[in-house]
Structure 1
Amino acid sequence: MADFIAWVLVLAIAAYACAGGTDYGAGFWDLLAGGAERGKRSRWLIDHAMAPVWEVNNVWLIFILVIMWTGFPTLFQTVFSAMWLPLALAAVGLVLRGAGFALRKPTRRLAQQRIYGAVFAISSLLTPFFFGAVLGGIASGRVKPGTTASTDAWANGTSVLVGLLAIAATAFLGAVFLCSDALRFGADDLVDYFRVRVLIAFAVVVVLALIALPVTHNDARYVWDGLTGGLGLLLVILAAVCGLATVLLVWRRSYGWSRHTSVASVALVVGAWGCAQRPYLLPESLTVAEAAGAAHTLRWLVIVTAVAIVLVGPALVLLYRLDTMGELEELSDADTRAARAPGDNL
């Protein structure tokens, strides 16, 4: 049961990395869109593309937290004790990001739009970085039962690189999805705009991954060994193939399948990380069996998880499907042309 719950945890992290990561990526491109006039059309697209599902994606994060503190209380206590600062900063980023996104759209004053937009965009950059820094600290073995909070746990070479990779991966996902959204909404000029950004983001991911190779070899040897052999290596190779396939599809302007391959590339990397750490939740210090909660708690957790998959899973799949098909919210001609509303320049 503990192994099953551990894999559910990995799958939930992969789901959040893909679903939430796409939204973070959109926020990243919002930050780099330019001034009010230059970035107006791309920001309109980002607002309308994200609006139907941006709150739903945080369901995965809540699910991860519930699995951790219920199924693996020792893991939850250890991680949140040693990493409370980056996790708190990520949580603040989540709140500010949501507030900025929700308040920017109905606001008509340009000055207020800039403030809310900056909060949304900057938080979209910082939140995935801190989540990645936490994962890097875990992978490098710096977090162990009894570890006290320190900057070394999350402000080290591995953590910084994983944090930067998290930003680059979300930017890659966001750009891929926005290409398809621009085509769906009839904003043809934005298709090429985000197409270029897909290629740039993928190039940055590749460069950061190459830089991470020697760092991971020296600083996270257990995970390195897992990623360079067995099932972990196979998943890494498949992730690379899916990433290259995404670039090829975008280059050939086939934006439908590119969404699936981009999501697969990120999900497979998370799966490879989970395989690389087996049988540990915290490399070389806390195994799945050691971290598991009481047997009766795990039994109920398995039951609740199964029920959630049956009842909630199809609803989420349908929601994402309707969103990608454009059935939840449509842009008017005024929206796609980024028409000014009264009071925009006040």
Structure 2
Amino acid sequence: MHLYDVPLAFSLVGLALYVVLAGADFGAGIWQLVAGGGPGGKQIRDHAHHSMAPVWEANHVWLIFVLTVTWTAYPSAFGSIASTLSIPLFVAALGIIVRGAAYALRAGTSTARELRVIDTVSASASILTPFALGSMAGAIASRRVPVGNAAGHLFSSWLNPTSLLVGTLAVAASAYLAAVYLAADATRLREGELERQFRARALAAGLVAGAVAIGGLLVVHADAHRLYHGLVRGGALGGVIVSLLAGATTLALVWARRFEAARYTAALAVAAVIAAWALAQNPTLLPGLTIQQAAASHDTLVALIVAVLAGGVILFPSLALLFRLVLAGRLDHAPTAAPLLPRDGVVAASASGLLGRVAGACLIAGFGLLTVADAPWAHAIGVTALFAFIATGFLAAVGEP
């Protein structure tokens, strides 16, 4: 790994965290939209709102992180992407604003009609935003964003088969992640009916997302053959296989009502898709522009890396504390919430320091395989190890001491 690759690795990790965390927030909005009427529908909407409200704003930190790092490290690529894809970028920004405003306005509603209007608008934004962001990813992956200021077509660059596929997959994955997370929260709160409903939704959404992902390979083969060629060989194929295995494992865990473990396998399934895309496209960033060519000066890259690492010293402990409080039920709104469930084996393992040691081993293995080895399979294992470091490090941070 060269110096100019490091900011891209930061951006990809940030993108994976954004998709996994903010995607669940958007997915919660989707389930609010289709919750139906009556007391049961209200219970679903309230549960989705209360589960995501404490963390939704923190989740969007990762989008800001990705944009800032990409802008600083690869300015020519960022300018090309932002100008050609200005319309979906605007739609996504508007959707995020609407979603955030809904959290603030919902608390001030005085009638059921006002609440229904706010939930409907918020839920609609929860569909448009991941679709717009996914269509942007599809445009980049299918090489429809040329280098230059607004050099690509304003509409066909993101309204094409691959972009529509990735946008649809982003919506399906968001609903899938949210259902798994909300089922886990319902279990923690001992809400049996909510657990049953979100378990069914998680199974259905997981099957739909898997079908879209697998069937989408046919679309990619026909519309973006270079991307398809990259996905079915080398390290990218390893990422695809990891995603399929993690997705199947998640469905099995949800079926067995092991929702806490399913949180992490569901996240891994989605993150592995991002890793596969990155490996399939490497070293090209945009058509005719490699990562090395797009990179900023050496001094800028060094300053950026130092700033990211220094900021991480503050950011990661803060986010770990927030999620620790959320997962422990300390921020639950319901005053009659049942006592918390006993810690499971995963959290108990973190108390003994096992997960911390595993996280350190994954970090060393990941960087070692990415920087020393040249074989594609070694890079695939290295990327997987780094994602494992994120997952196990997070578990170690949120576990009770």
TM-score category, normalised to shorter length = over 0.9
Distance 1:207 1:222 in 2: 22
What TM-score, normalized to structure 1? Answer: 0.93
Any conservation in 1 of the 2:186–2:192 contact (CA below 8 Å)? yes
Runs of 4+ in structure 1 displaced over 6 angstroms? none
Distance 2:288 2:330 in 1: 48
Any conservation in 1 of the 2:189–2:337 contact (CA below 8 Å)? no
Q: Pick from 226, 238, 261: which aligns with 1:234?
A: 238
Matching of residues 76-91 of structure 1 within 5 Å: 76-91=78-93
Q: Pick from 52, 56, 66: which aligns with 1:50?
A: 52
Any conservation in 1 of the 2:84–2:157 contact (CA below 8 Å)? yes
Distance 1:333 1:200 in 2: 30
Distance 1:244 1:316 in 2: 29
Could you tell me which residue of structure 1 aligns to residue 172 of structure 2?
Answer: 168
SS at match of 1:15: helix
Deviation at 1:84, TM superposition (A): 0.2
Distance 1:19 1:238 in 2: 19
Segments of structure 2 that go 5 or more residues without pairing to the other structure are 339-401
Could you tell me which residue of structure 1 aligns to residue 12 of structure 2?
Answer: 10
1:322 aligns with 2:314: no
Q: Pick from 303, 306, 328: which aligns with 2:309?
A: 306
Could you tell me which residue of structure 2 aligns to residue 342 of structure 1?
Answer: none
Deviation at 1:268, TM superposition (A): 1.1
Any conservation in 2 of the 1:185–1:331 contact (CA below 8 Å)? no
Distance 2:107 2:278 in 1: 38
Segments of structure 1 that go 5 or more residues without pairing to the other structure are 336-346
Any conservation in 2 of the 1:173–1:262 contact (CA below 8 Å)? yes
**1:19-59: CA deviations, max 9, x gaps?**
10110111110111012544110111111101211110010
Could you tell me which residue of structure 1 aligns to residue 290 of structure 2?
Answer: 287
Aligned pairs, number: 334
Distance 2:331 2:337 in 1: 18
SS at match of 1:307: helix
Distance 1:18 1:226 in 2: 24
Could you tell me which residue of structure 1 aligns to residue 37 of structure 2?
Answer: 35
Could you tell me which residue of structure 1 aligns to residue 127 of structure 2?
Answer: 125
Distance 1:311 1:82 in 2: 35
Distance 1:31 1:40 in 2: 11
Q: Pick from 258, 263, 269: which aligns with 1:259?
A: 263
Deviation at 1:254, TM superposition (A): 0.9
Any conservation in 1 of the 2:7–2:70 contact (CA below 8 Å)? no
1:296 aligns with 2:299: yes
Distance 1:104 1:264 in 2: 32
Q: Pick from 331, 339, 346: which aligns with 2:334?
A: 331
Deviation at 1:87, TM superposition (A): 0.6
Whichever residue aligns with residue 129 of structure 1, its letter is: F
Could you tell me which residue of structure 2 aligns to residue 275 of structure 1?
Answer: 279
- How much identity, in percent, do the aligned residues show? 41
